[in-house]
Every structure is written in structure tokens, then in C-alpha cells.
Structure 1
Amino acid sequence: MSQQVPSPALAPSWQKRFNFFSTYGLPNSSPEAKAAYKSLSFMDKMQLNSNILAFLFGPIYFFVKGMWRKGLTLFGIAVAVMVVLTVLNVSDGLARGAGIGVSLIAMSSANYAYYLHVVYRSESWNLFEGLAKRR
């Protein structure tokens, strides 16, 4: 994949995320990345790793950002979880917990997925693309 330069039209918060990802990769990808991540403030760490809009809106967020393939994957995961829980007739509390779990997946994968989408023009269906620790 060839790396594209992030657009200056990106919001400053996205530029900070993209600069970190371009320089270090994911926070756990190397000793240098771990050290750089450790030096960030708590709010910067939260902003780098979390996306509250993705948590709240899930697949819709991915569609709006142009990552419709990943949005469909997330939607498929949510539907599959819902079907399994319905067939098993689980309690409402467990079903809500599973829903929160799917939202947490969206929240924690959205920022790096968007980075890959913008910088590398990723068209992958894999919601977890690049998130696995490489050795």
C-alpha cells in the first residue's frame, strides 16, 4: 500500500491521530510507539483510541465516513449476535451487555479504520484490519 499525505482539510483532532499512526503505527506496535503513547496525556490517549460517535451510532458512523464495507461488517456482527441471543433466549441484561460489546468494537476500531481509509484508501471489509499485533 502506498501512503497518502493526510488532507489539511481534516480536523485538528484527526490530524493528531493520523500523525501518531503515520509516525508510530498502533500504540502497541513497537517499543517506540509504546513510549510515545505513554507520554501522551489521558485525554490524548482517549482521543487516539476511542471514538464516542462510533460507539453511539455504530454502523451508521462507518457509512457516513465512507467506510461502508466495514459498516456492513459491523452491522452483520450486530445482527448475528442479536440472532444468537434471541435463539438462546438470554436475559435482557446479557443482551444489553452484548450490544455494548458490539458498540465497544466500533468505538475502538473506528479511528484506525478511518486512518487506513483516508491514507491508504483501504476498501477492506475487515473491521479489524491492521489491529492485530504484528511480530
Structure 2
Amino acid sequence: MADKLSEKWQERFDFFDRIGGEVATVEYRQEFRKLSFMQRIKIGYNIWAFFFGIIYFCILGLWKKGLVIFSTIVLLSIIVYIIESLGHFKLDVVYRVISIAGAAFSASTANYAYYLKETRGKQSWNPLEGFSKKK
């Protein structure tokens, strides 16, 4: 597996391995705080997932999680549209917030989701898999 990963992905995977592969722990938070700002961005955030969302998740083979995130964004947008139509007012800012929040969520979960897929073979529909202390 290490052969097919880029240096950036190897660095991310090494960090997750070093903390025991669990991000919902005190050890993870402590180790994450020790990193420099740029290392934190590299480990905890994925710029490609921010801009390309479900497409990037599909490229990584995480189509289930990508589909759930995309569907949630669409569902929230439909709800806002219904509220907007019934109230006869504009909620453009709410649409932007939903879009940016969805993109930020994708970016902050992509790296760990890919780690779980590649190292443990976990590919559930839950985009928050591993982020909870509950086993």
C-alpha cells in the first residue's frame, strides 16, 4: 500500500498510525496541537475535497460518503427553497452558508475517511465514521 501513496498521503497516514488510528481521542488532539500550522492543514484538511466534493470522494473510492454529504447539501437546499417560497423572501446567504459548510465538512473528513478505507477497509455510508468516541 505504501508504494502507491504519494508522499503527502504517506505523511498523513503516518500521523494517523502514530496516534493509534483514532481521531476521537485526547492523544489525537494533543498530537495535532503539536503540529505546525501548515502540517495541521496538510493532515486535517483536503483542499481538493473542498473544491470538488463528491467528485473527489468518488476518485478516492469513497463514493458512499460523498453521496451522503452531497445528498445532505441538496436536501438542506430544498428545505431552504421551500421556506423561501412560502415566505416570499430571499435566503441567498443561507444557500451560501450551506454550500461552504458542506465543502468545509468534505475537506475536513476526506483524509481520515481515505485512511480508514485504505488501512482498515472501512467504507460505510457514515461520513462521520471514526469521529465519535463511541465504538
TM-score, normalised via structure 1 length:
0.87
1:29 to 2:30 alignment? no
Q: Distance in 2 between matches of 1:10 and 1:86?
A: 42
RMSD: 1.7
Aligned to 1:120: 120
Q: Distance in 2 between matches of 1:69 and 1:22?
A: 24
| Structure 1 gaps, min length 5 | 1-5
Aligned-residue offset at 1:27:
5.2
Deviations 1:60-99 (A, max 9, x none): 1101111111111112111111111111115111111111
Identity over aligned residues, as a percent?
A: 36
8 Å CA contact 2:57–2:110 kept in 1: the answer is yes
SS in 2 for 1:130: coil
Q: Distance in 2 between matches of 1:107 and 1:40?
A: 18
Letter in 2 for 1:29: T
Q: Distance in 1 between matches of 2:131 and 2:36?
A: 22
Size of the alignment, in residue pairs? Answer: 129
Which structure shows the higher helix fraction? 2
SS in 2 for 1:84: helix
Q: Distance in 1 between matches of 2:18 and 2:25?
A: 11
Q: 1:84 aligns with which of 74, 79, 85?
A: 79
Aligned to 1:95: 95
Q: Distance in 2 between matches of 1:27 and 1:125?
A: 18
| Structure 2 gaps, min length 5 | 85-89
Aligned to 1:17: 12
TM-score, normalised via structure 2 length:
0.87
